[in-house]
Amino acid sequence: MRKLAGIGLFLLVLYGSLLIANEGARSAENHYNLGRDIGKYGLISLGAGLLIISGGIDLSIGSVVGLSATVLVILLTEKGWSPLLAMLATLLVGCVIGLVHGVLVTKLRVQAFVMTLCGLFIYRGLARWLAGDKAMSLGRGFPAFWRDWLYRSRAVFGLPMSLVILLVIAGVAAVFLHRSVYGRYLSAIGSNERAVRYSGIATDRYKMLAYVLCSVLAAFYGILFVMETNQVQPSSDGNFLELYAIAGAVLGGCSLRGGEGTVVGILIGTAILQLLGNLVLMWGIPSALEYTVIGGALLLGAILDESLRRGEGRRARGAKEGEKEKQEEEQKDHKPA
């Protein structure tokens, strides 16, 4: 709770800095664009966060986005599929990729870092091969109905639809992670997988689920990306998105050691990340330094996380030693003279 309060305060400070940056930062248009970006990036940060909480990692998120977007455009323009079937097939691609990751990590014991790093190259190359290594345009292949329903300019209370979608998915994820026994299993696996396995819980099944959720949300991002840009460039679209996803989750309090993190924290971390990028623009900082600013904030978050962890460890040891001394004194008092 203390960590969540800290990152919440940091978010408020950043937002206050944005409001005083210049007049354009306070405009409704800038707030809409900011909310839209939080909605999009929040999807992949949420997937990465759930996976990190379970003790996993995925470096292929950006490539999964690129491959999913490419598959969607091909199914619509070259295969003539209906938009609904094409989107379902795209989500299925993400599901299959996540399942492959989960099986290789749990059954063949391939390290998650190595597995997903290989996936980063494999899926990017596959997307380029499917598209003939050229940009593809959607043209009129995506009816306005679906674009309006999933990515229209305004939604409930004037919020961007991508943000509304994120809030709905985050609500479901919060109930799953914090209010269900299955979510507790996921967190416990990240904390101590061996102990959970010895207690009779099917740890492999839950780890697979975490990888599937991560890749499906990346595929969903790919769908929204195509709706926004109306095209796909397989060689570059999605590059560095895995870094944004992981950074948003870590800034939101997810420990890379696993077993720690909240859905609310992930949303706050995503918002912090997008506010930093917006501040770079509004303060007139050269855009080339955007990654430097984000990297510095991530490093600061990691340092604070480690400091809090050490402080909690010292307090826990102090409490344990105090309890031990108290018990020793009680034993002395009860000892017959």
Q: DSSP readout, 144-196?
A: HHHHHHHH-S--GGG--HHHHHHHHHHHHHHHHHHHSHHHHHHHHHHH-HHHH
Q: Is residue 2 over pLDDT 90?
A: no
How many CA atoms does the CB half-sphere of 296 hold within 13 Å?
8
Residue 275 has pLDDT above 60, yes or no: yes
**Pairwise CA distance, residues 221 & 166, whole Å:** 11
Q: What pLDDT does residue 310 have?
A: 74
What is the structure's pLDDT at 109?
Answer: 92
| pLDDT at residue 211, rounded to an integer | 97
Q: Indicate the range of 107-111, 121-125, 143-147 predicted with least confidence.
A: 143-147
Residue 227 pLDDT exceeds 90: no
Tell me if 1 is assigned to some domain: no
**What is the percent of the chain with per-residue pLDDT over 90, rounded to a whole number?**
50
Higher pLDDT, 337 or 257: 257
Beta strand extents in 11-113 (DSSP E only): none
Q: How far apart are CA 33 and CA 8, in angstroms?
A: 21
CA distance 112 to 109: 9
Q: The CATH number of the domain where 116 resides is what?
A: 1.10.3470
Q: What crossing angle do the helices spanning 181-191 and 161-179 adopt, rounded to 10°?
A: 80
Cβ 271 vs Cβ 201: under 8 Å? no
Low-confidence winner among 35-49, 98-112, 273-287, 322-336 (lowest mean pLDDT): 322-336
Is 327 domain-assigned? Answer: no
DSSP notation for 242-301? HHHHHHHHHHTT--TTSS---HHHHHHHHHHHHHHHHHHHHTT--GGGHHHHHHHHHHHH
Instruction: Give the per-residue pLDDT at 111.
Output: 94
Task: List b or e across 211-238, with b for residues whose CB sees 16 or more CB atoms inside 10 angstroms.
Answer: bbbbbbbbbbbbbbbbbeeeebbbeebb
**pLDDT tens-digit series, residues 62-104:** 999 999 999 999 998 888 888 889 999 999 999 999 999 999 9
Q: Which residue has the higher pLDDT, 13 or 337?
A: 13
| Tens of pLDDT, residues 228-240 | 888 899 999 999 8
Q: Rounded to an integer, what distance in angstroms lies between the CA atom of residue 198 and that of residue 203? A: 10
Is 140 or 44 the better-scoring residue by pLDDT? 44
Cα separation of 54 and 310, whole Å?
22
Q: Domain range holding 162?
A: 37-301
Evaluate whether residue 316 is within a structural domain: no
In a domain, 216, yes or no: yes
pLDDT at 148: 67
Statement: residue 143 has pLDDT above 70: no
Nearest to 63 by CA among 113, 128, 1: 128
Query: Which residues does 129 contact at the CB level (< 8 Å), separation at least 6?
Result: none
Element (H, E) at 137: strand 136-137
Task: Determine the average pLDDT of the residues in 124-131.
Answer: 95
pLDDT at position 336 over 70: no
Q: Is the pLDDT of residue 326 over 70?
A: no
Does residue 155 have a pLDDT over 70? no
Of 303, 276, 304, 302, the C-alpha closest to 291 is 276
Q: What pLDDT does 270 receive?
A: 94
Band the pLDDT of 144: cuts 50, 70, 90: low
**Mean pLDDT over all residues of the chain?**
86
Domain annotation covers residue 15: no
pLDDT for residue 321: 66
pTM: 0.89
Q: Let me know if residue 25 belongs to a domain.
A: no
Q: What's the structural domain count of the chain?
A: 1
Residue 233: its pLDDT value, please? 94
CB 124 within 8 A of CB 67: yes
Helix, strand, coil % over all residues of the chain, rounded to 5 = 75, 0, 20
Name the band, by pLDDT with cuts 50, 70 and 90, for residue 5. Answer: confident
Q: Look at residues 97, 37, 55, 31 and name the one whose alpha carbon lies nearest to residue 221.
A: 37
Is 321 domain-assigned?
no
**pLDDT grade for 55, boundaries at 50, 70 and 90:** very high
230 domain-assigned: yes
Tokens for 209? Answer: 């689920």
Q: How much is the pLDDT for 242?
A: 92
Q: Give the model's pLDDT for residue 153.
A: 54
pLDDT at 160 over 80: yes
The one-letter amino acid code at 285 reads: I
**217 sits in which H/E element:** helix 203-229
Between strands 136-137 and 231-232, the pairing is: antiparallel
